[in-house]
Structure 1
């Protein structure tokens, strides 16, 4: 644990996980420095047919606001039971000891959800990776290699989709995100003051889950032995089992803070590498924000 609270930057590549290739060296380099694993997601409600609902639904889980999102959109869960709007999620600042959070996104559904949860919403402009790196780190109180005593925010999200930079000089979103990760690592080098205070997470999700056999957290086994398999922690919340958890196409997550996170043996930002050599295995996506807030001294330790 650091001797001062961290400041967190979360780079969220929404639907970009399947686009990572061997040429994305910065993402792979970041994975090799990090603690890697998976974030399990819920199966979508049967009536969830809105075109961009996956985007908001997945992000709601990262903010531990899934029930709130489902209730607000008037949907029901997998069992056909409506969620009670009375259990609306309070503002992030009230849930996490005054946490000041912001998000860059061009998605209307993400902006709407973020506003409901008291995140400041910032406009993402087409800019190069170095300029955006400076802008993101400045909001967190980092100026070059210097750390300011005060910062505007404790936590900043950057939400990137395949649509985000279609007009940016022919670069794809995953190429641009790879460059941004490299630019940040140039500043937050191991042993620097910035790397000891910056908690950096890169989260990549899948846009589709058509191929359920290859990308699954559950290994095939004899049906009789399967009956003896204990319930996995990523399928539970607050000690209660969740029936609508899906086992395929989880989010990939890599987290790094110099001297704080434990480096594992993963050397590439891929499902196969995380599954084989990642140190974190899988946790429920709802737990993600609690884990980050703990590094910011804004929440007690969540889970084990």
Structure 2
């Protein structure tokens, strides 16, 4: 735990985990310095569209599934705005100020209801809507500026405690962005010691057959047959003392988190399911616990996992 509250940057590749390649060296470099593992998700509803999945999984990350279900239960948008009361992030996390940067209009709408200040990527750099027109270095500078980092220093006040960047169509762009952030947040620097960075990648729309080689379950053939009955339920399948009724055991989100002198470094050296499973230190936790861990680093939650 740092001696001062951190600022958090979350880079989320929505549906991009399957496209990470050996050429994405910045992602692999980040994983080699970070604490790596999995975030498990609930099963998808039948006939869910990709846009619906994006918003639902975002809601899971924020432990706001009930708010999402309440929202989609209101077919009239005006009625939803008038009758639906959703606790904001500020209400839930000790005044947390958060920004959501995305080009997905549904995600912007839902994020706004949760208390995010929402904006598009091009609003930060003044480019057009295409990611190809956005300067990576300019965007990295502007993202850190939102968090109060300027010229390698932490200013007295900042607009936001948390900046969440959602990208759904360009893994190369996230790879380059991670490289720019790593270049700025060097070990020993004020940015490096105060910036908590999370890189998430999801698999998007998947079926059990698609994810047969992406299971986080303990394989039965790896268990000692004499001790198999003594192995407890894996913790990601529990919520407190009660079993979770809806857990998808395959195709989890991949997560790497890094803050110098705060997060652990494990033995993973590639941003991949295989490497995280074999060498990551965090194994699998439910995705709805993600924001609580980040809020703890920002001194916006009383304890880890609260």
Please confirm whether the aligned pair reaches a TM-score higher than 0.5, indicating the same fold: yes
The corresponding residue for 2:303 is 301
Per-residue CA distance 1:63-99 (angstroms, 9 max, x = gap): 1101221232139xxxxxxxxxx99651100100000
The corresponding residue for 2:260 is 258
Is the Cα–Cα contact under 8 Å of residues 209 and 248 in structure 1 kept in the other structure? no
Measure, in 2, the Cα distance between the counterparts of 1:230 and 1:54: 31
Q: Relative to structure 1, is the Cα distance of residues 254 and 303 closer, same or farther in structure 2, using a 3 angstrom cutoff?
A: same
Runs of 4+ in 1 over 3 A off after TM superposition: 86-89, 222-229
Measure, in 1, the Cα distance between the counterparts of 2:214 and 2:168: 21
Is the Cα–Cα contact under 8 Å of residues 144 and 187 in structure 1 kept in the other structure? no
The corresponding residue for 2:125 is none
Aligned length: 283
The corresponding residue for 1:41 is 41
The corresponding residue for 1:292 is 294
Alignment of 1:93 onto 2:100: no
Measure, in 1, the Cα distance between the counterparts of 2:24 and 2:235: 32
**Among residues 214, 232, 235, which one is paired with 1:233 in the alignment?**
235
The corresponding residue for 1:170 is none
The corresponding residue for 1:82 is none
Q: CA RMSD in A?
A: 2.0
The corresponding residue for 2:150 is 143
Measure, in 2, the Cα distance between the counterparts of 1:25 and 1:51: 28
Q: Relative to structure 1, is the Cα distance of residues 5 and 180 closer, same or farther in structure 2, using a 3 angstrom cutoff?
A: same
The alignment partner of 1:114 has SS state of: helix
Measure, in 1, the Cα distance between the counterparts of 2:158 and 2:240: 33
The alignment partner of 1:52 has SS state of: helix
Is the Cα–Cα contact under 8 Å of residues 86 and 113 in structure 2 kept in the other structure? no
Measure, in 1, the Cα distance between the counterparts of 2:186 and 2:50: 40
State the shift of 1:212 in Å: 2.3
The corresponding residue for 1:209 is 206
State the shift of 1:303 in Å: 3.8
In the TM superposition, 1:95-244 aligns within 5 A as: 95-125=92-122, 126=131, 127-162=134-169, 173-210=170-207, 211-221=210-220, 228-244=230-246
Is the Cα–Cα contact under 8 Å of residues 8 and 154 in structure 1 kept in the other structure? yes
Structure with the higher fraction of residues in helix conformation = 2
The alignment partner of 1:56 has SS state of: helix
The corresponding residue for 2:62 is 63
State the shift of 1:146 in Å: 1.3
Measure, in 2, the Cα distance between the counterparts of 1:254 and 1:88: 33
TM-score by length of 1: 0.88
| Structure 2 unaligned blocks of 5 or more | 75-82, 123-130
In the TM superposition, 1:9-20 aligns within 5 A as: 9-20=9-20
